[in-house]
Amino acid sequence: MPNTGKPSRDCHLCRQRRVKCDLARPACQRCIKYGAECPGYRDQQELVFRNADPTVVRKRKKRLPPPPSPSSSDSSSSLPETDSSTPQFSQNGDFLLTSSTDLVLVNGANCNAPPSLTQPVFEHWTSHSVPIILNVYSNLDFIKNIYRNCGDDGPLIWAAHLFSRTYVTNLRYPTAMYRDAHQETQRELGAYLGKTLNSVSEALKAPDGAHRDDVLATVWLLTNYELLVGSLSRTETLSPWHLHARGLYSILKSRGSAPLYTNAGRTAFWPAYSMVQIQALVSNTECPPESMEWLAIIGESQSPGEGLGLHICIFISKVCTVQARIYSLLRRRDFPGASKEYSELFVQMKAAQRELEDWMASNPAGDHLLEIYVISLYQSAVVKGYHVMHLLINFLTHYPPCPTPLEQLRADRRYSIETAQTAAQGILDAVPRVLGPLSAKGKEKSPKALFDALRVIWPLIAVYVMGICRPEQRLAAEDLLFYIGRELGVRQALNKYPDGLTIPQEAREPFGGQ
């Protein structure tokens, strides 16, 4: 490009793309339009060509400010002392190291010592990884206790770098970023993911590797990381999220029931087992065969506050058993088997729900966020369970030899739809209580809101995906998921979920379309 003597004042990205920039501040409209973060503009000193002629050089020197006088340097020594524990910032927001002895940095310049500090000392972003994790999971004692006893190296530290970097990247680029930065970030994240997985693999080779709480926490953190990047799939059971969830079950199985007799063991058990149950709901499979044994041990000596979560986990285990059996019948297109087992399956579903609701009626839940979350998890299991049940009912309406009368099937179908829609509305009503007022869009969100968003992702996906919910409920769930994806950086919330499940056509609509 010829040197015209007039340097471009466009932002760095528009200059790189060789397109016109409107010079808007703080970000140009072209960057905003394409969802990229505007990288900013040149400094005024950069808006000159270095190969200027001598006349221009002399004129530039005349415009330079005069050197500081001794009196100005003396006055600078009277500046207030700076707390050495508080990080200071340069004009561009970089961290600067300060000292309370003879080094005071003001905008990158040492005002006391004779030698000049020409460049600021930067603090690498990895130094903020663990604080970000502790802020995100500030309400989870399991994570805080493990990081308190964690060393400077190990799988949990690498997982912190991976999770924090992904979280910050998603917040800065909610939809897209320009190609070079995206490729560089993906290479960096790939390196940290590889180091995390290698650390977990090496730790599990040791005889006591599965009994290490930091290994369990690392795999659990990886499942949350996969939600950040959006890898959860309803149909691809070999996706990374499913693999990590199954890894959690393998670790829990290896640890056995002994940790459940201690408070520390239960604190580590609950987050991991909750993810295992969600994986069973998503993949239409049964919960682990050890589930009832584990839950029975906790039930024999449950601590205050464990009752609600315990009974909801028992309910979800029963729902998963019913849904796995129904999907097995539908996939085989087994009309005789379905008609034979229908009554028992419907009774099991209603009995499990009635048992839990009776317990909740005598043990009212409070307004704690954890209780709101577990109730939303229960409601998502209700939506999923009765959605699968109504598929079975649709299927049987096309089978005349079915011993259950058609009118009874239609009545059971109406009951299933009403129950699922009531639970779906409960999920939607609880989201503002968990995430706060949704009218605060565009405002900076605390990292604590990320964990709350991750906990409501599955209930909202259940409402959005299940056709048994009302259209307006599914639309509301889609809006909430979009809000979580754009405002809180959870890419899973921006995913679409095509109906790829293999079920007979008869299960999609009842006979006669009623």
Q: Which fold has domain 12-44?
A: CD2-Gal4 (4.10.240)
Q: What is the pLDDT of residues 413-453, one digit of tens each?
A: 999 999 999 999 999 999 888 877 654 555 566 788 888 88
Exposure string for 190-215, b = 16+ CB within 10 A, e = fewer: eebbebbbebbeebbeeeebbbbbbb
Q: Is the pLDDT of residue 95 over 50?
A: no
Q: What is the pLDDT of residue 364?
A: 83
Q: What is the pLDDT of residues 449-483, one digit of tens each?
A: 888 888 899 999 999 999 999 999 999 999 999 98
Q: What is the pLDDT of residue 101?
A: 37
Q: Where are the domains of the chain?
A: 12-44, 129-299, 305-513
Q: What is the pLDDT of residue 235?
A: 61
Which pLDDT band, with edges at 50, 70 and 90, does 26 fall under? confident
Does residue 365 or residue 160 have the better pLDDT?
160
Bridge pairing between strands 95-96 and 105-106: unpaired
Q: In which region does residue 204 sit, left (phi positive, over 0), alpha (psi from -120 to 50) or beta (all else)?
A: alpha
| 8 A C-beta contact, residue 352 and residue 319 | yes
CA 371-377-379 angle, 5° bins: 105
3-state secondary structure of 316: helix
* pLDDT mean over 222-239: 82
Q: How far is CA 268 from CA 47, 378, 481, in A?
A: 57, 21, 28
Bridge partners of residue 65, in order along the sequence: none
Q: What is the pLDDT of residue 365?
A: 77
User: For residue 223, what are the contacts with CB-CB under 8 A and spacing of at least 6?
Assistant: 241, 244, 245, 248, 275
Tokens of 129: 């990884």
Nearest CA among 465, 459, 514, 512 for reference residue 484 = 459
Q: What is the pLDDT of residues 120-175, one digit of tens each?
A: 444 567 788 888 898 888 888 888 888 887 777 789 999 999 999 888 888 766 55
Q: In which region does residue 23 sit, left (phi positive, over 0), alpha (psi from -120 to 50) or beta (all else)?
A: left
Identify residue 24 by its one-letter amino acid code.
Answer: A
Q: What number of other Cβ atoms are within 10 A of residue 179's Cβ?
A: 9
Bridge partners of residue 461, in order along the sequence: none
Exposure string for 40-60, b = 16+ CB within 10 A, e = fewer: ebeeeeeeeeeeeeeeeeeee
Q: What is the pLDDT of residue 29?
A: 76
Q: What is the pLDDT of residue 489?
A: 85
Helices (H) and strands (E) in the chain, counts: 18, 4
Tokens of 458: 């599955």
* Distance of alpha carbon 330 from alpha carbon 118, whole angstroms: 72
| 8 A C-beta contact, residue 159 and residue 221 | yes
Q: What is the pLDDT of residues 35-85, one digit of tens each?
A: 777 888 776 555 544 444 556 556 656 665 555 554 444 444 443 444 433
3-state secondary structure of 88: strand
Q: What number of other Cβ atoms are within 10 A of residue 181's Cβ?
A: 16
Bridge pairing between strands 88-89 and 95-96: antiparallel
Range name among 188-202, 368-382, 392-406, 491-505 with the lowest pLDDT average: 491-505
Nearest CA among 156, 95, 91, 85 for reference residue 121 = 95
Nearest CA among 451, 477, 444, 433 for reference residue 141 = 451
